[in-house]
């Protein structure tokens, strides 16, 4: 099992170091994990003049999975667009054809108070949003701004092919099979033909997954239900634009950006795993960042790319335990809990494992 590790910039190296210590425990216990470090983002621009250098491309392509910290920072903000760290991130996602974005939003009971919603609405929340990542109105042609009848007109095209819908639906049904077997497909079929096809193809795909209970919801209602009663959902699948908005809405239900992992998968379940937060330049180098989102990203990698549910459970259980024991980094600290730094949080997870 080859893992390409891209620590990146800012707090990236600090949080990735803790995830690697967790993977080391599993290696010592017999898992055959091979770790290959490489450069992506600002550090790659500094070392090789390219945010996604050829050497990284070769390693990422050869690996079974990629574990990423975060990229970017003020040091590189003034560079030409093609040299910006974010270019490295977009480059690797496109290069590896990662079309399925999986974002869990999970509220640990101890952290329910951090949500902007009432604790009783979100306590125990555990949903997974599966967002299509390479199609939809963001990529559809034709697009542009032009003058018609003497005024400027802007236009984009929402377009999905059957095969694009079917492959993301399969990822979502497969994910639901690994969870509570309930899938809600979100569309806007009452006004958009592209999403009428979306609904039709999702229903056709459901025939292969009789164990999964499929439901459908219009996107406006889904946005409302996510704040009204988010615990009604298990897995949500939706297109690129609706998913962009709903996944950010769902992550904010949890209130703690330092806790949330994500995965972006290709058709063969190869994946790029990363925390949803950025490189946090404001706290970089101080050893205080929360490493749990990155550690949980490593757990997702074991679950989704390598099919090692037991190893993933072991990590996730350890994270639950350290929270129950009261350990908190600064971002999730509240009075009455024990404030720890990045390394001590890693130590606590290792001890719980």
| Rounded Cα–Cα distance for residues 47 and 7 (Å) | 14
How many helices (H) and strands (E) the chain has is answered by: 12, 14
Residue 30 to residue 27: CA distance in whole angstroms? 5
**Active-site residue, 75 included:** no
Does 258 participate in binding ligand NAD (rule CB under 6 A)? Answer: yes
Nearest to 276 by CA among 290, 111, 79: 290
Main-chain phi, psi angles of 111, to 5 degrees: -105, 10
The phi, psi pair for 286, rounded to 5°, reads -100, -5
Q: Which of 279, 305, 311, 327 binds ligand NAD (CB under 6 A)?
A: 279
* Residue 282 near ligand NAD by CB under 6 A: yes
Q: Give the residue, chosen from 50, 266, 274, 316, that forms a contact with ligand NAD under the rule CB under 6 A.
A: 274
Q: Does 290 interact with ligand NAD (rule: CB under 6 A)?
A: yes
Does 312 bind ligand NAD (CB under 6 A)? Our answer is no
Tell the smallest beta-carbon distance from residue 77 to ligand NAD (Å).
7
- Which span (168-176, 186-194, 242-250, 279-287) binds ligand NAD, by CB under 6 A? 279-287
Which residue lies nearer to ligand NAD by CB, 10 or 205? 10
Catalytic pick among 136, 188, 304, 331 = 188
Name the catalytic one among 64, 97, 138, 200.
Answer: 138
* Coil/strand/helix, residue 161: coil
Residues 14-73 that bind ligand NAD (CB under 6 A): 15, 70-73
Catalytic, out of 95, 208, 248, 282: 248
Strands (E), 172-256: 182-187, 213-218, 235-238
CB of 258 to ligand NAD, least distance (A): 3
CA distance 180 to 202: 18
Q: Which residues does 70 contact at the CB level (< 8 Å), separation at least 6?
A: 8, 9, 10, 11, 12, 15, 41, 274, 275, 277, 278, 279, 280
How many residues bind to ligand NAD according to rule CB under 6 A?
23
- Residue closer to ligand NAD by CB (options 100, 201) is 100
Q: Compare residues 176 and 283 and give the one whose CB is closer to ligand NAD.
A: 283
Tell me the CB-side half-sphere exposure of residue 214, using CA atoms within 13 A: 21
Candidates 18, 50, 234, 331: give the one binding ligand NAD (CB under 6 A): 331
Task: Name the residue nearer to ligand NAD (CB basis): 17 or 293.
Answer: 293
Minimum distance from residue 134 beta carbon to ligand NAD (Å): 17
CA–CA separation, 70 and 175 (whole Å): 25
- Side-chain-side CA neighbours of 198 within 13 Å: the count stands at 29
Tell me which residues touch ligand NAD (CB under 6 A): 11, 15, 70-73, 86, 89, 257-258, 274, 277-283, 289-290, 293, 329, 331
- Catalytic positions are 138, 188, 220, 244, 248
């Amino acid at each position: 099992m080859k893992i390409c590790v891209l620590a990146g910039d800012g707090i990236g190296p600090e949080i990735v170091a803790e995830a690697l210590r967790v993977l080391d425990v599993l290696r010592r216990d017999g898992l055959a994990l091979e770790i290959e470090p490489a450069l992506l983002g600002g550090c790659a621009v500094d070392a090789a003049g390219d945010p996604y250098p050829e050497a990284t491309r070769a390693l990422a392509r050869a690996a079974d999975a990629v574990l990423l910290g975060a990229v970017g920072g003020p040091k590189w903000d003034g560079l030409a667009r093609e040299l910006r760290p974010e270019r490295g991130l977009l480059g690797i996602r496109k290069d590896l054809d990662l079309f399925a974005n999986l974002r869990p939003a999970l509220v640990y009971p101890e952290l329910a108070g951090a949500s902007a919603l009432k604790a009783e609405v979100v306590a125990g929340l555990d949903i997974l949003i599966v967002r299509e990542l390479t199609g939809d109105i963001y990529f559809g042609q034709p697009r542009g701004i032009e003058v018609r009848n003497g005024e400027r007109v802007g236009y984009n095209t929402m377009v999905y092919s059957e095969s694009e819908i079917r492959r993301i639906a399969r990822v979502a049904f497969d994910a639901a099979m690994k969870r509570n077997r309930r899938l809600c497909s979100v569309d806007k079929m009452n006004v958009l033909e592209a999403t009428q096809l979306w609904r039709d193809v999702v229903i056709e795909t459901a025939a292969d997954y009789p164990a999964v209970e499929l439901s459908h919801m219009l996107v406006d209602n889904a946005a409302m239900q996510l704040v009204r009663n988010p615990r009604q959902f298990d897995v949500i699948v939706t297109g690129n634009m609706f998913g962009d908005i709903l996944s950010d809405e769902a992550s904010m239900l949890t209130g703690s950006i330092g806790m949330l992992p994500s995965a972006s998968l290709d058709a063969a379940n190869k994946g790029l795993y990363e925390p949803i937060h950025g490189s946090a330049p404001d706290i970089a180098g101080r050893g205080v960042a929360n490493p749990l989102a990155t550690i949980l990203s490593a757990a997702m990698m074991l679950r989704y790319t390598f099919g090692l549910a037991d190893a993933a459970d072991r990590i996730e259980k350890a994270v639950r335990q350290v929270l129950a024991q009261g350990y908190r980094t600064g971002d999730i600290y509240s009075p009455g809990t024990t404030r720890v730094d990045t390394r001590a949080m890693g130590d606590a997870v290792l001890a719980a494992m």
